[in-house]
Amino acid sequence: MHDRSESGTPIHPVYGPEALADFDPATELGEPGAFPYTRGIRPTMYTTRPWTMRQYAGFGTAAESNARYRELIAAGTTGLSVAFDLPTQMGHDSDAPLAAGEVGKVGVAVDSIEDMRVLLDGIPLGEVSTSMTINAPAAVLLLLYELVAEEQGVAPEQLTGTIQNDVLKEYIARGTYIFPPGPSLRLVADTFAYCRERMPRWNTISISGYHMAEAGATPAQEIAFTLADAIAYVETALATGLAVDEFAPRLSFFFVARTTLLEEVAKFRAARRIWARLMRDRFGARDPRSMMLRFHTQTAGVQLTAQQPEVNLARVTIQALAAVLGGTQSLHTNSFDEALALPTQKAARLALRTQQVIAHETDVTATVDPFAGSYAVESLTDDVEAEALRLMAEVEERGGAVRAIEEGFQKAEIERAAYRVAQQVDSGERVVVGVNRFTVDVEDPYQPLRVDPALEAAQVERLARLRSRRDQPAVDAALERLRQAAAGSANVLVPMREALRLQATVGEVCTTLRSVWGVHTPHETF
């Protein structure tokens, strides 16, 4: 099974100098912290400080999630990562008919500024870096965060963190889109411009390959389609009049780490090299920060198994090590029980402890890019890079990422790769420990975390109280100003912020935008 990489290129039993016969260390490696950043974006990497340890969390009500965040901070996490429920991700309030049965299930329900206040209560937003996994309504949640920070006395320019804000990958692999691609890209560009003026330390987008990998993308597909999406975002921003070095330093990326450690390390190194050359040579970037591919990594949820879930602790450890050896800037380690339910408090703490053991008990942080010069890893890096560039060229031939998405190209390629893996697992060619090999007859009992179904009714009641006591005419007028901005060319985030300040809800804001921009209808690939 391991005679070929996940991306389909050969893996040889032995690598020697001949594997790097055409390898030029000066142009392909460089020094750590120097172009093309193959060896990492900083000269010292983890030898002076470790990566940011984030734990993705959010469930039920804002109060429950706030309690989990406090526990994680007390356990030593250095950055928050907020998971929102599906209604919030789709721009629906908790009392919307489509939200029924989904409130608080896979993340926290945030309907208004009131919920955001509770979610962030007691958390010093001027000191904590916060990542928010939100895409189609990313601008809405970012503004709620800014408004709560303002109430804490924290100025927008002090805030640090990231919104995912990567709607193109939603059309390819994940599905939580709202608007068609054109208006969605406009909203992304408006967010870039808004943050350039008001929130200069905030990462305005986390261009994501993670969800493509979860849908079945190979490592080469993951970085190829992610970087193709990044090109579309850069071109959109340039078309609005922004200069590349005004926004590119705040672009960030989000990748998966699988158990195939060597190829994953190679993937991260190849992605940095491709991005550096792309930004310098195609877009004329001059600021080194514009050429540095900064990325967050999450261990592979799709590789977790419900069978013998404790084995997932080993998988997550290997995946986390791959991310660290690959030079990630921040890392989330999945909990071993996530194939069964939302992670329990103990499992979330164990996941964080996995990162802390790697950072403080191993020697992998003692030197920068430990695999540099490895015959195997340098050869694999070249292979992944070559295959990713081939796929990026295919996207370009179709007119770029948006046109290829409309044709269903990326989605079809990923689905074919996923089908191949499923066939290999079913046939036993690909071993999954505890699933098709090394199974047990009786599983140990496990008590998963369950979200109380009563919380949906409580959240709906909170929403009704908010609507009953707010200044409705003022809200209506603010939403009308937002509608006019969406119909014109003004930056929509300015009237959106004022509507949210007046207690307009996430669903009301998104519905206003839907009334102007419409909704996306997916292209069926089969």
Residue type, 138: A
Q: Which residues pair with 133 in a beta bridge?
A: 83
Report the pLDDT averaged over residues 243-252.
Answer: 94
DSSP code string of 323-352:
HHHTT-SEEEPPPTTTTTSBPPHHHHHHHH
What are 313-352's pLDDT values in tens digits? Answer: 999 999 999 999 999 999 999 999 999 888 888 998 999 9
pLDDT at 524: 60
pLDDT at 523: 63
How high does pLDDT run on average in the chain? 94
Q: Which of 239, 174, 246 is nearest to 405 (CA)?
A: 174
pLDDT in tens, 50-67: 999 987 778 888 998 999
pLDDT at residue 403 in the model: 95
Q: Is pLDDT at 104 greater than 60 in this prediction?
A: yes
- The rounded radius of gyration (Å) of the Cα atoms in the chain is 23
47 pLDDT tier (thresholds 50, 70, 90): very high
Token pair listed for 344: 């329990």
Q: Measured in whole angstroms, how far is the alpha carbon of residue 48 from the centre of its chain?
A: 26
Peptide bond into 87 cis (omega under 30): no
Largest CA distance in the chain: 74
| pTM assigned to the model | 0.90
Q: Which residue has the tokens 């079913």?
A: 426
pLDDT digits (tens, 9 = 90+) for 110-160: 999 999 999 999 999 999 899 999 999 999 999 999 999 999 999 999 999
Q: For 404-459, write each residue's pLDDT tens digit.
A: 999 999 999 999 999 999 999 999 999 999 999 999 988 877 777 777 888 899 99
* pLDDT tens readout for residues 164-215: 999 999 999 988 999 999 999 999 999 999 999 999 999 999 999 999 999 9
Task: Please write the tens of the pLDDT for every residue from 1-43.
Answer: 578 999 999 999 999 998 888 888 888 899 999 999 999 999 9
Domain boundaries along the sequence of the chain = 17-427
How deeply is 287 buried, as exposed, middle or buried, from its count of CB atoms within 10 A (0-12, 13-18, 19+)? Answer: middle
What is the distance between the terminal CA atoms of the chain, rounded to a whole angstrom?
Answer: 29
Q: Please, are residues 181 and 152 in contact by the beta-carbon 8 Å criterion?
A: no
Residues 6+ apart with CB under 8 A from 328: 51, 255, 257, 268, 295, 296, 297
> What is the CATH number that goes with domain 17-427?
3.20.20.240
